Structure 1
Amino acid sequence: MTRKIEAKPQGAVESRSFFQEAWTRFRRHPLARLGGGVLLVLYLGALFADFLAPYPETKSFRDLTFSPPTVIHWRDDNGRLTRPYICAVERKRNLETFKLEFVQDCSQKYVINFFVQGEPYKFLGFIPANLRLMGGDWLQNEQAYLFLWGSDDFGRDLWGRIWYGARVSLTVGIFATALALLIGVFMGSLSGFFAGKPLTLSVGLLNPAYRKFLASSPLPNLLKTLAWLALWGGLAWLIWVTVSGFLATSRGLEAAVFGVVGIGLLIAIGYAILFPVVKIDLDTVIMRATEVLAAIPDLFLLITLSVLIPQGIPPAMRFYLVICILSFVNWGGLARVMRGQILQLREMEYAQAAQAMGASDARVIARHILPGTFTFLIVNVTLAIPGFILAESGLSFIGLGIQDPASSWGLLLNKAQAQGITAFVDRPWMLIPGLFIFAAILCFNFMGDGLRDALDPRAKR
């Protein structure tokens, strides 16, 4: 039995989904593809930093500070190609210029081997491994070393430190963007969906007997309000005195923060007790909060919040705190844009139909409104990540972000700035981390532009 194959009508076009069309348009964007490829290399390098680096992250050579890049030889004494090797190096001071110089002694040669076993490390933080890209006898010799891009002020390999620092600089952008996206989408959705719809909250702390007492009390409402506010204000003042006195000898700024928060909470509780039914306009509250954040310069706010990070905490904890600070400062802009989109999408027929059928507000937002913002969110993520990378690099550059012995591109660039004009003249390899920051941000912008053009629903097919 033969199967009959129906021929397609002449001139028929194969139907493709929106994302298939978007992928086709993205592939036609050469700069976007270039940016995506470079970013893939950077993230793979950060993932396999222990494999690429010949030395551990914190290993230093005190006698090899600011060592220039090691010369790798590919030819023997007769000029024939051979396996790559390095020569022994002796550190001497030039008696004419009084500068330290590194003189090669090629009577002692050390071959560079690839894919060898070196010092152990944990891949992904928990998988034991010891395979490294480069190794050889020079690892155990004090007269030979391999610094592909020179060393820093502690004699640490800059090549390995850059890849170790990529883990912080690149992942800070992703995690901070994800947290800011979560806060911004949540706040923007509430603000847009409930715009013009004040919420009425009934405080459950008030039992009917207490409400009846408030209603039958001969005191005017104004006096009752002032009395209760005075009571809660007095309790807040006691907490303020206690906390500030306890922390006065250590960090007075925390005392001020705790005092302000305590006063605010107690006043809110007092207001809730005085007024059993509270009307809250979420749109007004959230938008005013974003305006306050927008009114404060980002750099000033970042520096102020970074000062609150205690000194001496573990690098991992500082990393998470930096992420939280960056997210807190930058969620406002996303919330305002989301509010505008939600205001438009909530008036669509399908959203109105879902509400008419009795769907809850949470279901309408999550199932019917938010999916309409996915293309915008994808583009926003790719354009927001470079901003967070630059912000973290700026904090680390001025000494308020990641601290030694951890590494980040901004911290490495700070080492070059600390040397002044010398870094440009005598130690140009110290500026290499700046090139990585420039490349990562540029590639993210290229890819973001390509995604914006590809995911534009108004683009021609």
Structure 2
Amino acid sequence: MTGKIELREGMGRSEGFFQMAWRRFRRHPLARLGGWVLLLLYLGALFADFLAPYPESKSFRQFSYAPPTHIFWRDTDGRLTRPYVCASERRRNLETFRVEVVTDCSKGRYPIYFFVHGEPYKFLGFIPANLRLLGGDWLVSEQAHLFIWGTDDFGRDLWGRIWYGARVSLTVGILATGLALIIGVFFGGIAGFYAGRPVTLSVGFANPEFRRYLRRGRPLLAWLKALGWTLVWLGLAWLLWITLQGFLQTSRGLEAILAGVIGVALLGAIGYFLIWQTVKLDLDTLIMRTTEVLAAIPDLFLLITLSVLIPQDIPPATRFMLVVSILSFVNWGGLARTVRSQVLQLREMEYAQAAQALGASDARTLTRHILPGTFTYLIVIVTLSIPSFILAESGLSFLGLGIQEPASSWGLLLSKAQQTGIIAFTERPWLLIPGLFILIAVLAYNLLGDGLRDALDPRSRR
């Protein structure tokens, strides 16, 4: 009898939203497959130094565009043995006049060992380590080498370069999506919450609002707002001065005088409104018109235009962050428009209206009661946006405007195949392997995103 009561009580328990979502997600085999594939790719990128037998920058110029190394599994008697590679050298074929890699086991055999100590590296950038997956005497020999997936134009091992490049290509997608998400949620939330309600922005030193804040006993808030708008005016003045300097270097006479007068008048007008006047702006109109301007410009054209402005001699880490910023700047508009539509609906809900009626500030109502209602959508949009950023970065690097040597990314590696033309398909197909990794990563993210969309849909009853 007790067991039946416990069974009935267990049957009466209700599942939470995320418990039901997890149960629905587990019933989506393709989404689970995409998740496992992405896990393997990110683990490979994390342990790239362990998987690669050679350091990222090590090259063998005499083995430029070398095909994958032949790995032997049997000895001369046909019995299975430890895998090994043989001595090899580049020779010109006198019949075809092509340079080929010729393997000659009579000149030496070099066994392949697993989990050996090789050249040192720093795991995660600061942990000293030297354990590598593959090793052997072929690492220090000049007669034998191991190129699992061949080499590129500089004779660098493509197997290792792909895993090193995965760090850039996969990380760019996450960082660019995260930054675009922050910008899109911020501006989309503000646009949706203040839609139809002009906002007063100016509290300058000479503004009546400043004295009103002082009389209300909030001097710290008054001074902070006044200082903030003064800094905005100084920042605009600096940008205007830099622009005028570039214009004055190429202009003389009446054009220079006219540009200076217009610049000073524009700066004075901005300062007048920010410091003396109370400015009322429709933030929804301002933000949405900005997103429409960005949407009117083709993404590829805008990406190329902004990427050309990046100097060529900057460090790879700095260039990486600039590429992430450019990708986020170009693609935050779509997120902002969708978040705005969600906020417009959620701000009319009873709990949001009750929070404002109880005296909650606009910031608290927006961050604590409205934006959490968009989280399920944001989880899905993140998984569907990351592939587009991976493709965008790969396209930029393929065109030579993204990640540059000596760093590596899948798009940059794929550009090596483009440089060789049709030969990459007929004689050097291993150069196309980075494109296969791009395809796999994008497909896995889309499968995972489809599964999350179905699982997090509250109308789903499966």
The two structures have a TM-score, normalised by structure 1, of 0.88
In 2: Cα distance, 1:159 partner to 1:264 partner: 57
User: How far off is 1:207 after superposition?
Assistant: 5.6
Match of 1:268 among 260, 267, 270: 270
Residue in structure 2 matched with residue 445 of structure 1 by the alignment: 446
Amino acid at match of 1:374: F
In 1: Cα distance, 2:86 partner to 2:429 partner: 22
Residue in structure 2 matched with residue 369 of structure 1 by the alignment: 370
- Give the match's secondary structure for 2:85: strand
Return closer, same or farther for 1:23/1:237 CA change in 2, 3 Å cut-off. closer
Task: For 1:402-413, list aligned pairs within 5 A.
Answer: 402-413=403-414
Residue in structure 2 matched with residue 287 of structure 1 by the alignment: 288
Deviations 1:210-241 (A, max 9, x none): 99xxxxxxxxxxxxxxxxxxxxx999987644
8 Å Cα contact 1:115/1:132 also seen in 2? yes
Return closer, same or farther for 1:266/1:106 CA change in 2, 3 Å cut-off. farther
Task: For 1:57-456, list aligned pairs within 5 A.
Answer: 57-107=56-106, 108-206=108-206, 240-244=243-247, 267-273=269-275, 276-456=277-457
User: How far off is 1:290 after superposition?
Assistant: 0.2
Return closer, same or farther for 1:349/1:265 CA change in 2, 3 Å cut-off. farther
User: How far off is 1:272 after superposition?
Assistant: 2.8
Deviations 1:214-273 (A, max 9, x none): xxxxxxxxxxxxxxxxxxx99998764434457x7xxxxxxxxxxx99997664224334
- Give the match's secondary structure for 1:277: coil
In 2: Cα distance, 1:402 partner to 1:446 partner: 27
Amino acid at match of 1:197: R
Return closer, same or farther for 1:234/1:57 CA change in 2, 3 Å cut-off. closer
In 2: Cα distance, 1:106 partner to 1:151 partner: 21
User: How far off is 1:11 after superposition?
Assistant: 9.6
User: How far off is 1:8 after superposition?
Assistant: 3.3
In 1: Cα distance, 2:237 partner to 2:349 partner: 50
Residue in structure 2 matched with residue 55 of structure 1 by the alignment: 54
User: How far off is 1:399 after superposition?
Assistant: 0.2
In 2: Cα distance, 1:234 partner to 1:442 partner: 47
Return closer, same or farther for 1:364/1:272 CA change in 2, 3 Å cut-off. same
In 1: Cα distance, 2:237 partner to 2:368 partner: 47
- Give the match's secondary structure for 1:416: helix
User: How far off is 1:12 after superposition?
Assistant: 3.3
Residue in structure 2 matched with residue 216 of structure 1 by the alignment: none
User: How far off is 1:200 after superposition?
Assistant: 1.7
In 2: Cα distance, 1:263 partner to 1:146 partner: 68
- Give the match's secondary structure for 1:8: helix
User: How far off is 1:96 after superposition?
Assistant: 1.6
Structure 1: tracts of 5 or more residues without a match: 212-232, 249-259
Residue in structure 2 matched with residue 226 of structure 1 by the alignment: none
Return closer, same or farther for 1:393/1:264 CA change in 2, 3 Å cut-off. farther
Amino acid at match of 2:140: Q
- Give the match's secondary structure for 2:403: coil
8 Å Cα contact 1:35/1:444 also seen in 2? yes
Deviations 1:347-371 (A, max 9, x none): 0000000000000111111110111
In 2: Cα distance, 1:16 partner to 1:4 partner: 21
In 1: Cα distance, 2:415 partner to 2:383 partner: 26
User: How far off is 1:93 after superposition?
Assistant: 0.3
Q: How many aligned positions are there?
A: 424
In 1: Cα distance, 2:187 partner to 2:179 partner: 12
RMSD: 2.4
Amino acid at match of 2:311: P
Amino acid at match of 1:177: T
Residue in structure 2 matched with residue 217 of structure 1 by the alignment: none
8 Å Cα contact 1:236/1:262 also seen in 2? no
Amino acid at match of 1:417: Q
User: What percentage of aligned pairs have identical amino acids?
Assistant: 71
Return closer, same or farther for 1:267/1:320 CA change in 2, 3 Å cut-off. farther
- Give the match's secondary structure for 1:352: helix
User: How far off is 1:127 after superposition?
Assistant: 0.4
8 Å Cα contact 1:237/1:263 also seen in 2? no
User: How far off is 1:201 after superposition?
Assistant: 2.9
User: How far off is 1:202 after superposition?
Assistant: 3.7
Return closer, same or farther for 1:410/1:262 CA change in 2, 3 Å cut-off. farther
Deviations 1:71-121 (A, max 9, x none): 110000000000000000011001121100111110210000110010110
8 Å Cα contact 2:110/2:136 also seen in 1? yes
The two structures have a TM-score, normalised by structure 2, of 0.87
Amino acid at match of 2:245: T
